[in-house]
Amino acid sequence: MSIILWIDPWTTTVWYAIINKISNSNYQLIDFWVFSTTPKIDLSIKLLEIWNDIKELIKTFNPDIISIEKLFFQTNLKTWIDVAQARWVIVYEAIRNNLKILEYTPLQVKKAITWNWQAKKIQLQRAIQMIMKLDEIPKPDDAADAIWLAYMWALNTRL
């Protein structure tokens, strides 16, 4: 078994999903959701809040692996730099806990799960619903994003 924690870092919300890889073809979704930072506060305080939340997630679920969405350049450079700092806080805590780290881009996920790098979000949501044997598509949409990336790491990890 491997517990995989996937995180989508932002500065106001951080999405996560936790998957238990029972065997090379059997996966169990343990949890997924978001934690939010306090609105309209200094970025340094937001980073501290993210760090505390990540520490708590790691302590609660004791993951073996952490998967983080790879950053891609956005049009707003300030936003990109802020998200990079939030991502650094997460990577730092993963390293402190001796966790393996893997990164995926959204295009890599689309191609691996649907075999189509141009797949629409609904296609990925339906695929994850089927793979994880969920009664319905995970809501909100960003929650499904977290599950996809945790699943990607599970696919590429041998027990």
The residues annotated with a catalytic role in the active site are 8, 69, 142
Burial class (CB in 10 A: 0-12, 13-18, 19+), 123: middle
